[in-house]
Chain A
Amino acid sequence: MRNLFALLARTHRWLLFLALWGVALGWMNTTYSHHRTALAGWSLRASGSWLNAAGNVQEWTHLAESNRLVMLENARLRAELEALKERRTAPWQTGDASVLRSPGWNGSPWMVLNRGGRDGLAPGAGILSQGFAAGRIVDTTAHESLVLTLTHDEAQWSVRMGRSGQAGRLVAKKGDVRRAAVLDIPWSQLVLPGDTVMTTGFDGVFPADVPVGMVEDVLGNEADEFQTVVVSLGANYPGARHVVWLKHPRNGRLDSLSSALSNAP
């Protein structure tokens, strides 16, 4: 308390000056409507600014949770969009899932999801990451699924250049989770960096025209019959936290049809 009094004694002139200014401003506030209006405006702006800052701080503390909810909402909307695209025919069943394991710089091409057979997933379902084709489910447990991603160097995927370009095979580059190569594209097909690579829908995993990535470079020479297109994959494997799964009831029937014993020549 003694220190407080000492502080007040040291600063009494400034305190008195501020008090006099307070009296003067209060007096002006009661005398002039213009000043009253201006003071009310400043007060509102100051309180608004303060509330805004406090809100920002509060929002910042909940940013991680907000981000998670936004990503879930994003995944749900993408799933809904895919369902709407196929409304006229038998619709693709869709849903969202969280990523438990993902291809990263350790070289593993596998992804594990937190949804499994109990959630309606089955081998053969396609996986989208941020709207781009990411892989297909090859095995499930009751609550988890194993996904063969586009980064697996022994897998091949049917893609085409743009919506109406030539179809080819997408093959991963071993150990690279960001790029893949498209083979079997003839030189007659003009391919430029920046072109979008789409799914053909022929493999039954994805519907047609789902984006896979963008052309980064074109390799080969004119002596070859085909060019090799280097594609920057759209699915961000190291950063993916939520994905969308796609399943069509017709795929199961087609698979059983193509693997029937009666097909043996």
Chain B
Amino acid sequence: MSAFFPLFWTVGWALVSQVLLFRYGIFWGGYGLLAIHLYGLLKMPVGWPPTTYLLLAAVTGCIMDVVCFTGGMHLAASATLGMAYPTLTAAMESREGLRQGHVLDPFQDGWVRYGIFAALGMAVYWGVLFALQNGWSLMGRTLGQTALSTLLNVGAFMLIQGLLNRPTRGDQRGVSAYPWS
């Protein structure tokens, strides 16, 4: 149960910041959109029952739809992400495997592994959302929006990881936030 509280805290601030601030983050003529609330969803620990991922993601998407008046698009995309989440985490397993309760983190799992994990999750989410929004006739636009928005958000998530999820040494001093620093 203790694992829920850090997750809820992360999902909560990510959701609020998305609704209040980052929902206006629209770049490149609508091809790059920010979805910071997914930063919280991608912090769901490994080893939970799959239905829990589905429900948690669906509730988050539902809140987004209610607050942003997007009429079910975030719900469909979030439910799909929640459904695919166990598969995504299983795909990111290292040779040693993932222990129960592990949260994918660039400082523990590596920047590349975390980047791929975030990109896959974002691609699922944006793919569904833009496909529903554009329809079959604008499939090219859907693919472009999915690719650019995924890249934008992966970059944003890595930035947030470095800013907020910086690990500390035993003496409470920070270590390097980014690979190059």
Contact = CB atoms under 8 A, between A and B. Distances in A.
A12 B71 contact: no
Contacts of B73: 24, 28
A39 to B, nearest CB: 11
A20 B79 CA distance: 7
B54 A31 contact: no
A17 B79 contact: yes
Contacts of A31: 69-72
A44 B71 CA distance: 23
A interface residue count range (under 10 / 10 to 19 / 20 to 34 / 35 or more): 10 to 19
A220 to B, nearest CB: 68
Contact of B65 (A13, A17, A27, A38): A27
A26 B51 contact: no
B76 A21 contact: yes
Nearest to A20: B79
Given A17-B79, A20-B79, A27 B72 contact: yes
B181 to A, nearest CB: 41
Nearest to A31: B71
Interface in B25-67: 50-51, 54-55, 58, 65
Given A13-B83, A17-B83, A38-B135, A23 B51 contact: no
- The residue among B51, B72, B135 with the most chain A CB atoms within 10 A of its own CB is B72
A122 B29 CA distance: 88
A264 interface: no
A30 B69 CA distance: 12
A17 B57 CA distance: 11
Contacts of A32: 71
A16 interface: yes
A28 B71 contact: yes
A193 B122 CA distance: 72
A28 B51 contact: no
Given A30-B71, A38-B135, A24 B76 contact: yes
B72 A13 contact: no
B39 to A, nearest CB: 22
B52 to A, nearest CB: 10
B124 interface: no
A13 B54 contact: yes
A17 B50 CA distance: 11
Nearest to B71: A31
Nearest to B77: A24
Contacts of B177: none
Contacts of A35: 132
B82 to A, nearest CB: 8
A25 interface: yes
A13 B65 CA distance: 22
Contacts of A17: 54, 79-80, 83
B51 A12 contact: yes
Interface string B67-103: 0011111011001100100000000000000000000
A21 B62 CA distance: 11
Nearest to A27: B72
Contact of A27 (B58, B75, B80): B75
5 contacts: A17-B79, A20-B58, A24-B79, A27-B72, A31-B70
Interface of B: 50-51, 54-55, 58, 65, 69-73, 75-76, 79-80, 83, 132, 135
Given A27-B72, A32-B71, 5 more contacts: A17-B80, A20-B76, A24-B73, A30-B71, A31-B70
